[in-house]
Amino acid sequence: MVMKECPNCGEEVMGREGKKFCSAYCKSNFHYQRNKEKESSLFKKIDKQLKLNRRILKNYNRAGKATVKSSDLFQHGFDPKYFTHYWKNSNKQVYLFCYEFGFLLQRDAKGIEKFILVQHQSYMN
């Protein structure tokens, strides 16, 4: 008879051959913890990027409205694919928001990409 150790708690596993866990609780807890780590890594990545985007937008938009070259935001790690919600103005332009800070990508007359930065206002609801 081979003695096995429970991968969750380290206790001795007793019972049938091939049994891996000492109890149903340990089996459930082991798989819960393993899946929780897998899931949370995606959520942590998204949350980290959203917070970074917000911090960058806040830094560049101290007056409530600003225009910034896209390269300036990108060099700090800004990623426009991560946003919390959007707002469409009367001209059908869609501003993407990262919490209370919004941005709209546009090209100027010379073809340079710039972001128009705004801060959420009550009329944007």
- pTM (global) more than 0.75: no
Measure the CA–CA gap between 15 and 106, rounded to whole angstroms: 67
Q: Where are the alpha helices (DSSP H) in the chain?
A: 24-60, 70-74
Flag whether pLDDT at 99 surpasses 90. yes
Give residue 15's pLDDT: 86
Q: How many CB atoms lie within 10 A of CB 41?
A: 10
Domain residues of the chain, as ranges? 4-124
Residues paired with residue 115 on neighbouring β-strands, in sequence order: 68, 105
What is the band of 40 on the pLDDT scale with cuts at 50, 70, 90? low
Measure the CA–CA gap between 20 and 26, rounded to whole angstroms: 10
- % pLDDT > 70, the chain: 95
Specify whether the CB–CB gap between 80 and 105 falls below 8 A.
yes
Residue 42 identity: L
- DSSP state at residue 107: E
Give residue 42's pLDDT: 80
